[in-house]
Homo-oligomer: A and B are copies of this chain.
Amino acid sequence: MDEAKLTIARNFSPKPVGTESVPLEDAYNRILAEDVIAPLDVPPFDRSTVDGYAVKAEDTFGADENHPIALTLCGRVRVGEPPNVTIERGATAETVTGAPLPEGADAVVMFEDTVHRESTVLVHTAVSRGDNVMKAGSDIYKGETVLKKELRLTAYEIGVLAALGVTDAKVYKRPKVAISSTGAEVIEPGKSLGHGKIYDINAHALSGAVIECGGEPINLGIVEDENQKMRTALKQAFSVADLVITSGGVSVGPTDIIPKILDTLGKPGVIVYGIAIKPGKPTTVAVIDGTPVFSLPGNPTSALLIFQLLVRPVIVSMAGRRGERPRTVKAISATRMFAARGRRTFVTVHLAKDKAGRRVAAQVPLGLSGAITTLSKADGYIEIHESQQFIDAKEEVTVHLLKPTFASDEGE
């Protein structure tokens, strides 16, 4: 397994596949492809944060409940309009929350602290310079790097972009991932099922897995396990995709043609032919003129687990989600779990809490030949090194989480 990973890393270095501009309404959950430098101050001008009177602070010094100071009302400032008054000594203008501070003013007195009589405003509270004013640039200052490259855009970052007047975000392109299934027994869901046939699971489940890690799946459907058809399908895949996934057709059976075809399609060709792991032994990896190809086993559990182990990290990097760490939690093994002799073994587990509140990992049997329900029941997997015979009951283990974490999965 370690050798396979090294070989893949030596032959293909996953990089973002490009950048694109998307309007803010489509930017949610995308990955920023550049640092965003503020082209303006936010707010762009000194704003009143209350309804009241714009003043020179020094004019209010000494004012209190019993000794109001009288100022001359010389106008009114409106929200969304340039002020048409200038505040001289002893003067004031009515203003409202959000309105720009008029020239000459440096503070705002709240309505509640004033009494207004015709053209005179009695101020009952002293204010300091800047009181009830949000200064220009106090939220974001012009020239500031306000959002960093590789950040994932949530509602708040979209808000920051909008505040800057930005209409489009420069984000990483989603890598295109071509997916096909192979095997004389698989047919498309929806068709009627003759004896000996099963519905294709892998292309559909893998499409979901590709979306989850930031890729754009291109489902090429079922390709017959026949030389010319497979060759045509693979060529088509290379023409549209940044990464190719096939599943099925790489068992030890007599119809194992994919690796042979791959070797004729480009350089270096197949770089990993089988891995000493369980499940997933027949996994084949190729690089064809710069495009990685992962040929996964036909059985769904193996295919999806190998996807998580080998393919997901590559797609994540190609999607610009470089900072993403593997998601793991610590748990206590519920029972002894055995490794397959001489192979890195991945045991699917379900997480629960014991009476003492400790997190416990209980094995979800893989079932014969990879039942699809195994993975829908499992929360994650445990890795047992090929040098180990087993993990003992009650041993502390690291569980690699298999599913995206949704809000409902957390909470303490």
Interface residues on A, range: 35 or more
Q: A51 at the A/B interface (Cβ < 8 Å)?
A: yes
Q: Give 1 or 0 for each of A182-214: 1 = CB within 8 Å of chain B CB.
A: 011110011101111111111111111101100
- Give the residue among A45, A157, A191, A205 with the most B Cβ atoms within 10 A: A205
Q: A276 at the A/B interface (Cβ < 8 Å)?
A: no
Cα A321 to Cα B201 with chains together (Å): 26
Q: A309 at the A/B interface (Cβ < 8 Å)?
A: no
Least CB distance, A220 to chain B, in whole angstroms: 12
Q: Is the CB of B406 within 8 A of A407?
A: no
Q: Which residues of A contact B (CB under 8 A)?
A: 24-25, 27-29, 40, 42-45, 47, 49, 51, 78-83, 96-100, 133-134, 138-140, 146-147, 152-167, 183-186, 189-191, 193-209, 211-212, 217, 219, 251-254, 298, 300, 304, 321, 323-330, 367-369, 371-373, 375-376, 401-408, 410-412
Residues of B within 8 A of A184 (CB): 78-81
Q: Is the CB of B51 within 8 A of A196?
A: no
B49, B83, B193, B372: the one within 8 Å of A159 (CB):
B372
User: Can you name the residue of chain B whose Cβ is closest to the Cβ of A77?
Assistant: B196
Q: Is the CB of A155 within 8 A of B49?
A: no
Least CB distance, A247 to chain B, in whole angstroms: 11
Cα A327 to Cα B244 with chains together (Å): 37
Q: Is the CB of B139 within 8 A of A373?
A: yes
Residues of B within 8 A of A133 (CB): 368
Q: Is the CB of B100 within 8 A of A369?
A: no
User: Can you name the residue of chain B whose Cβ is closest to the Cβ of A168?
Assistant: B190
User: Can you name the residue of chain B whose Cβ is closest to the Cβ of A217?
Assistant: B25
Q: Is the CB of B367 within 8 A of A80?
A: no
User: Can you name the residue of chain B whose Cβ is closest to the Cβ of A210?
Assistant: B155
Interface SS of chain A: loop
Least CB distance, A320 to chain B, in whole angstroms: 12
Q: Is the CB of B100 within 8 A of A196?
A: yes
Q: Is the CB of A51 within 8 A of B252?
A: yes
Residues of B within 8 A of A251 (CB): 51, 96-97
Shortest 3 CB-CB contacts between residues of A and residues of B: A159-B205, A80-B184, A155-B208
- A-B contact sample (6 more), CB < 8 A, given A79-B253, A158-B207: A28-B207, A96-B251, A98-B298, A159-B375, A327-B411, A405-B410
Q: Is the CB of A204 within 8 A of B45?
A: no
Residues of B within 8 A of A193 (CB): 40, 44, 165
Residues of B within 8 A of A203 (CB): 162
A163-B49 contact given A153-B208, A328-B411, CB 8 Å threshold: no
Cα A139 to Cα B196 with chains together (Å): 16
A407-B408 contact given A80-B185, A199-B162, A368-B138, CB 8 Å threshold: no
B29, B198, B401: the one within 8 Å of A43 (CB):
B198
Least CB distance, A290 to chain B, in whole angstroms: 27
A195-B139 contact given A160-B372, A376-B156, CB 8 Å threshold: no
A154-B51 contact given A80-B196, A185-B80, A204-B161, CB 8 Å threshold: no
Q: Is the CB of A204 within 8 A of B96?
A: no
A155-B82 contact given A28-B211, A408-B321, CB 8 Å threshold: no
Q: Is the CB of B410 within 8 A of A212?
A: no
User: Can you name the residue of chain B whose Cβ is closest to the Cβ of A375?
Assistant: B156
Residues of B within 8 A of A196 (CB): 45, 78-83, 99-100
Cα A123 to Cα B367 with chains together (Å): 26
B154, B324, B373: the one within 8 Å of A212 (CB):
B154
Cα A140 to Cα B36 with chains together (Å): 51
Residues of B within 8 A of A328 (CB): 410-412
A408-B376 contact given A44-B198, A189-B166, CB 8 Å threshold: no
15 pairs from A and B in contact (CB 8 Å cutoff): A24-B207, A25-B207, A42-B198, A49-B369, A79-B185, A147-B376, A156-B402, A157-B376, A159-B202, A159-B304, A162-B199, A163-B201, A164-B189, A165-B191, A167-B190
